[in-house]
Chains A and B, each alone.
Chain A
Amino acid sequence: MSIDVAARLQRGDFILNVEFQAEVGETVAILGPNGSGKSSLLRAISGLLPISAGTITIDGKVVDDHYRQIFVRPEKRGLGVVFQDGALFEHLTVIENVEFGLRSRGMKSASARAAATILAEQFDIGEFAHRHPASLSGGQRQRVAIARALATSPTVLLLDEPTSALDASSKIEVRQLLRSILEKFEGTRVLVTHDPADAHSLADRIIVLEDGRITQSGTISEVTANPRSAYVANLAGTNLISAMSDGDLLRTSEGTVIVASERVSAGEALVAILPSAVAIHAQEPHGSPRNVWRASVKSVDEFAGRLRVHAIGELDLVAEITPAAGAELAIAVGNEYFFSVKATEVHAESR
């Protein structure tokens, strides 16, 4: 009950070239910006898009191999797919949506209805059983979509942007629901998303897809601790700064000095500073930190229970602090603060 993909897919100018495995019992999130090819990848696994080269294996069975001319049609792959914003059957009622898979596999109408009714109760959509999807809220529609996908007891569950069409409060609700479903689901789970919060709360492992290629993979902390592209750095909030090294000090193009504890050979360098390593002070700090910059707050957002403060000034920075620290400092947009980073927290590499 695993997925093994080594596939190439070409559509016009766009080339998707990926290799990855997802094991039984784990949730893999494929994270990437729009247009990175993550939805095409999910469609290829589902059998909705044949690959141009390579092999896709599900549960040890080859389902798509261009050279060996093997192609198992989507209805024979036995997958559960949750589509972006549901793709519910609008002309059918909620219960007819949920029982659709069972009926398609030839189950008798009465038994399919009985099984679907039990599932609908489990997903708290029983009271809407005889309504049409258009009258449901975004969160309720997504529950129907998940129930429909699970009705046929698939061994692999694929989720395409399951929270992207939802408003903020439904996002949290659906994410919680998904977390409990994914924990109980014993097969392989693959989640495609551009929302790092989905990956954060749902995935055991993430694969970063950019422009049709996998640029990084690992656990979310492994990936964010060592971002290899601006996209990942941005997701993780890591500050990536271009600087020139004179062999001792680092200088940005604006002339701001950055001190790193380890020497960097002279020339162009890339500086990475984790947002959690940035401290914010109301008064100029004294003592150990050797890097202190003045900057004013541009925006503040919340990420995984912490505040992210985006600041512009001598150095443009993202700092991550606790909500308590934020309250104490009375963080507000436009206020100016001192941002400090220990030299040991400055990671610089020549490039």
Chain B
Amino acid sequence: MFIAALGALLFLLPFIGIALRLPWMRLSEIFGDPETRAALWLSIRSSAMAAALSCFFGAPLAYVLARRAFPGRSVIRALMTLAMVLPPVVGGVALLFTFGRNGFVGARLDEWLGIRLPYSSAGVVLAQTFVAMPFVVVAVESALVRQDTRMEEAARTLGASPLTVLRRITIPTIRPALLAGAALAWARALGEFGATITFAGSFPGRTQTLPLLVYSTLDTDPGAALALSFVLLAVAVVVLGLLRDFWFAGMSDRGKG
């Protein structure tokens, strides 16, 4: 009991710490600062892009993993899990040595197309997508594995083409899982720190996202760091709330329909 209470305190106290020290009076000044606004705006755009890319690439990947047997499938599954538990900074290092100027992909991108990903806003999106996509893949794949494929077969015998089956049967039935995966991916991308700073650096206005700004202002202006942390905290709470709604919606759907 006592140990449990200590455990709970470990989580509770830091939130109180933020709320107590939050410089409520200075909030408008902090959020009026151009550097803060740039970081906030970059964070919103890049995390939204990363979540979108995670769905765009992750959902088809989940479909193939769930429905097609092919050599190397278990390797890809293992890599997905690995990417979820990998320290993000290691992911950043790996990205740097792959897509960096001297990396085996990065050098060619630079040479042939003139694209340089490291230390660019696109690099931020790449780093965030790298850490966020596994959440979409895992959520969607488990939903597809649970799904009864006879529904799709029944649709075929009723005259639906594979594309129609995908549009009218497969996607609607995995929609709750896709939305939950996307929300988790977005939250993960928004809070991303290690891979971003390693691969894209922390250039104000270009690659400095909100978590990076929090870290860099902690020494110079702790009040601002607190206020920005509070924003990230609020976002996490909102995402959790939305997920709860999805899960409850899913349950009541099952109850009535």
Which residues of A approach B to under 8 Å, CB–CB? 43, 46-48, 73-81, 83-84, 87-91, 93, 100-101, 104-105, 131-135, 148-149, 152
Contacts and interface: CB of A to CB of B under 8 A. Distances in A.
13 contacts: A43-B153, A75-B160, A76-B159, A81-B157, A83-B154, A84-B150, A87-B151, A91-B253, A104-B161, A132-B253, A132-B256, A133-B257, A152-B158
Interface in B152-176: 153-161, 164, 168-169, 172-173
Closest 10 CB pairs of A and B: A132-B257, A101-B158, A87-B150, A104-B160, A74-B156, A104-B159, A81-B157, A87-B154, A105-B159, A75-B159
Contact residues of B: prevailing secondary structure: helix
Contacts of B160: 75, 100, 104
B169 to A, nearest CB: 6
Interface string B46-73: 0000000000000000000000000000
Contacts of A48: 153, 156-157
A93 B256 CA distance: 11
Contacts, number: 78
A77 B256 contact: no
A253 to B, nearest CB: 47
B139 to A, nearest CB: 18
A75 B157 contact: yes
B151 A101 contact: no
Interface of B: 148, 150-151, 153-161, 164, 168-169, 172-173, 253-257
A90 B161 CA distance: 19
Contacts of A43: 153
Contacts of A132: 253, 256-257
B151 A135 contact: no
A75 B154 contact: no
B164 A104 contact: yes
- Listed residue (A73, A74, A93, A134) with the most chain B CB atoms within 10 angstroms of its CB: A74
B191 to A, nearest CB: 33
B256 A83 contact: no
Contacts of B164: 104
B157 A89 contact: no
Nearest to A133: B257
A89 B256 contact: no
B64 to A, nearest CB: 20
Given A75-B161, A83-B150, A100 B155 contact: yes
A227 to B, nearest CB: 33
Contact of A77 (B155, B157, B172): B157
A84 B148 CA distance: 12
A240 B5 CA distance: 72
Contact of A104 (B158, B172, B257): B158
A38 to B, nearest CB: 16
A91 B156 CA distance: 17
Contacts of B161: 75, 104
